[in-house]
Amino acid sequence: MNTKLKCLLLDDELPSLTYLKLLGQQIPELEIVKIYNCPTRFMEDLPTLEFDLAILDIEMPGISGLEIAKTLSDKAIIFTTAYSEYAADAFDLNAIDYIRKPLQLDRLRIAVEKAILFYQRSRSSTADFITLNTNIGKYILYFHQILYIRTSSQDSRDKTISLNSGKDILAKNISLQALMEQLPAAKFCQINKKEIIAMNIVRSFSHDLISSTLVVDQKFIDFTLGEKYRTDFIQKLAL
């Protein structure tokens, strides 16, 4: 897969399709390769189309987005609709996400982030890195480089990642949950609402405190261990 997701858009209502295209063009990770307002034409062209992600309206004349999705088993799919009653059907088809209209940019960004995760998980299980949007552009980050991750004090949507080189990078607009889904589960643990640590930096721990092997100003760095995260942390120590 290329750096950007190649994306197709399908919505029989031209104003909705135009607005979706405008939103999609504001998401750097997307490359909108073609748009359709006719599901029949979409199906006719499908054998010749190269894409990673399809964003489909559900209710359309002739053939629904749900029916089209059944032919796209190897592609990421995001559904858009003005109706809530299709949610169960959408997820039965293993859709990446289901977005209610009127569409909003932030909500579409979340759906695209899920699609990126879908493709990252489908790569070779031996992959030892992830690719993130950062303050210095696209950054290939190897797992062994990461010491700990904190929610940025400037913008909670961003995450500061401290590396074993002594350098920090700022991952842009990504949640801790999304990061945990990309990191090796046995090697990293979210320990409170704002932090993830690499398990190999743990020196000792108590009921609510983790002491690390990292030293600043001749003192070991400590981390707060939240009650909600304690069981998972202890289980990972035993691995």
pLDDT at 138: 83
pLDDT at 185: 87
Asked if the domains 5-122 and 129-237 are classified in one and the same CATH topology, the answer is no
pLDDT at 124: 46
Model pLDDT for residues 112-154, shown as the tens digit of each residue: 988 888 776 665 445 688 888 898 888 889 999 999 999 999 9
pLDDT at 2: 45
pTM above threshold 0.75: no
Q: Could you tell me the fold of the domain covering 5-122?
A: Rossmann fold (3.40.50)
Model pLDDT for residues 25-69, shown as the tens digit of each residue: 999 989 999 999 999 999 999 988 889 899 999 999 989 999 999
Please report, for the chain, the start and end positions of each structural domain, with discontinuous segments joined by +.
5-122, 129-237
pLDDT at 94 over 80: no
Model pLDDT for residues 182-237, shown as the tens digit of each residue: 898 889 999 999 999 999 999 999 999 999 999 999 999 999 999 999 999 999 88
User: What class does CATH assign to 129-237?
Assistant: mainly beta
**SS3 assignment for the chain:** CCCCEEEEEECCCHHHHHHHHHHHCCCCCEEEEEEECCHHHHHHHHHHCCCCEEEEECCCCCCCHHHHHCCCCCCEEEEEECCCCCHHHHHHCCCCEEEECCCCHHHHHHHHHHHHHHHHHHCCCCCCEEEEEECCEEEEEEHHHEEEEEECCCCCCCEEEEECCCCEEEECCCCHHHHHHHCCCCCEEEEECCEEEEHHHEEEECCCEEEEEEEECCEEEEEECCHHHHHHHHHHHCC
